[in-house]
C-alpha cells in the first residue's frame, strides 16, 4: 500500500475499499485478547505494556485477527505515549523506540501472514483469496484521557486548564513518531470531545503529517460524545480536515451504531468506519466491565448488514470482541448467510 500513500490522501480509502470489494474488515478488541493469551496489563500503560514485556503476544493477536479476515490491523499504541513511558522510568528515546516498534510489529505480522498464505499454512473457510487480501496497518492514537488513566477518557472532561494547545503539545511528538514509523494511516480512536478532534485536525494540517488518518468518536447515548458535544458537530471537524479519509465510531454500544451512522451521513460523504464494543459497559473508575441486561442476548454480527445498508463501509469490533467476532463479520461481508455467523461473545 506504500504507493497509495504518495497519492492524494483522499483517494487512499476509496481505492482500498475498491480493492476489498467495497467493504473492509477492521480487527477487534486488543487488550482482552492479550489477557486471554496470559498478559498482565493491569497498568497505566494498559495494552502498551506488552510492547515492553511481551511483544510476541502483540504479534500473536495481530495474526489471530488477520487469520480471522481483518483488512486493517490497529497497532498496540492506543495507550502508548512518550509521557506515559517516561513516567515508567524510560528515556524519551526509549519511548519513541517503543512507539516505532508498535508499528513495526504490526507490519511484521502482515508479512508473516502473507508468507503463510503463500505457503498454504492458513485454513480459510470463508474465502479462497486470503493471499491477495489487501491489509493496511493503522497506527492507533488514544486520547489524552487514556494517558491519564483516571477514567476521563470515558467522560471527555479534562478540566479548564487543558486547552487545544495543551492537547496539541501532548500529542505532537507521538503522532510525528508514529507517522515516520511506516503505517498506512493513523487511527485517532475513541475521541471523547470536540476539543481533542480539533487538536488532531490542527496537527494533521499544520505539522506536515504525510499519511492519512481516520477519526473515530465514542458515544454513550447515540447522540453525543462523552463530553456532551454533538456527534454531528464533532464529525464536521473531521470532515473539514483534508487528511481525514474516514470518520466513524468505536467503543460504543452496538445498539447506538445505526443512529450514529445516520448522524454521520448528515455531514460527510467520506467512508464511515464502525467498530463498537460487545455491548457491555465499562466502569472507568472501578476498571471493570459490567454486563448490560438489555443486550446480553443480542447477536453483534446480526447488525452488520443493517449498518452496511445505512452507509458504513468498514466494520470491526472494539472492547470485548474477539477474532470469532471478526471472522463472523468477514463471513457476512463476503456474502455468507448471517446464520452461519452466529456467536456468543467469549467472556
Report the candidate in 102, 145, 65, 3 with the shortest Cα–Cα distance to residue 328. 65
Number of alpha helices (DSSP H) and beta strands (DSSP E) in the chain: 14, 10
Three-state DSSP at 129 gives coil
Distance of CA 38 to the CA centre of its chain: 22
Question: What is the rounded distance in angstroms from the CA atom of residue 252 to the CA atom of residue 70?
Answer: 20
Element (H, E) at 164: helix 164-179
Q: Which cell goes with 143?
A: 486520547
CA distance 196 to 234: 10
Report strand pairing: 288-290 vs 281-283. Answer: antiparallel
Burial 53-75 (b: 16+ CB within 10 A, else e): ebbebbbebbbbbbbbbbbbbbb
CA distance 107 to 154: 30
52 in helix, strand or coil? helix
**Cell numbers at residue 323, please?**
477474532
C-alpha to C-alpha distance for 178 and 74, rounded to whole angstroms:
12
Residues annotated as binding site?
251, 318-319
| Crossing angle of helices 231-240 and 194-206, rounded to 10° | 0
What are the binding residues for Zn(2+)? 251, 318-319
Distance separating alpha carbons of residues 155 and 284, to the nearest angstrom:
9
Picking from 275, 204, 215, the residue whose alpha carbon sits closest to that of residue 247 is 215
Amino acid at each position: 500500500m506504500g504507493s497509495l500513500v504518495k497519492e492524494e490522501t483522499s483517494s487512499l480509502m476509496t481505492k482500498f475499499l475498491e480493492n476489498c470489494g467495497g467493504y473492509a474488515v477492521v480487527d477487534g478488541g486488543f487488550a482482552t485478547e492479550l489477557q486471554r493469551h496470559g498478559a498482565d496489563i493491569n497498568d497505566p500503560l494498559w495494552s502498551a505494556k506488552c510492547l515492553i514485556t511481551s511483544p510476541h503476544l502483540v504479534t500473536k493477536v495481530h495474526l489471530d485477527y488477520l487469520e480471522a479476515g481483518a483488512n486493517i490491523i490497529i497497532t498496540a499504541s492506543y495507550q502508548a505515549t512518550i509521557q506515559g513511558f517516561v513516567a515508567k522510568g524510560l528515556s524519551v528515546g526509549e519511548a519513541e523506540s517503543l512507539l516505532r516498534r508498535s508499528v513495526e510489529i504490526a507490519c511484521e505480522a502482515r508479512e508473516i501472514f502473507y508468507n503463510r498464505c503463500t505457503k498454504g499454512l492458513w485454513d480459510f473457510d470463508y474465502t479462497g483469496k486470503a493471499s491477495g487480501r489487501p491489509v493496511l496497518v493503522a497506527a492507533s492514537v488514544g486520547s489524552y484521557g487514556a494517558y491519564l488513566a483516571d477514567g476521563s477518557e470515558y467522560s471527555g472532561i479534562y478540566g479548564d486548564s487543558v486547552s487545544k494547545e495543551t492537547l496539541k503539545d501532548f500529542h505532537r511528538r507521538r503522532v510525528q513518531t508514529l507517522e515516520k514509523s511506516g503505517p498506512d494511516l493513523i487511527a485517532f480512536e475513541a475521541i471523547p470531545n470536540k476539543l481533542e478532534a480539533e487538536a488532531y485536525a490542527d496537527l494533521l494540517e499544520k505539522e506536515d503529517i504525510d499519511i492519512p488518518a481516520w477519526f473515530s468518536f465514542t458515544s454513550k447515548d447515540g447522540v453525543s460524545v462523552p463530553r456532551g458535544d454533538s456527534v454531528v458537530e464533532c464529525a464536521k471537524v473531521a470532515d473539514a480536515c483534508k487528511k481525514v479519509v474516514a470518520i466513524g465510531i468505536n467503543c460504543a454500544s452496538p445498539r447506538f451504531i445505526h443512529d450514529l451512522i445516520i448522524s454521520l451521513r448528515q455531514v460527510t460523504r467520506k467512508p464511515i468506519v464502525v467498530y463498537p464494543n460487545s455491548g457491555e459497559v465499562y466502569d472507568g473508575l472501578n476498571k471493570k466491565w459490567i454486563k448490560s441486561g438489555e443486550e446480553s442476548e443480542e447477536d453483534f454480527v446480526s447488525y452488520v448488514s443493517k449498518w452496511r445498508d445505512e452507509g458504513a463501509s468498514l466494520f470491526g469490533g472494539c472492547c470485548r470482541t474477539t477474532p470469532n467476532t471478526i471472522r463472523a463479520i468477514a463471513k457476512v461481508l463476503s456474502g455468507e448467510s448471517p446464520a452461519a455467523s452466529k456467536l456468543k461473545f467469549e467472556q
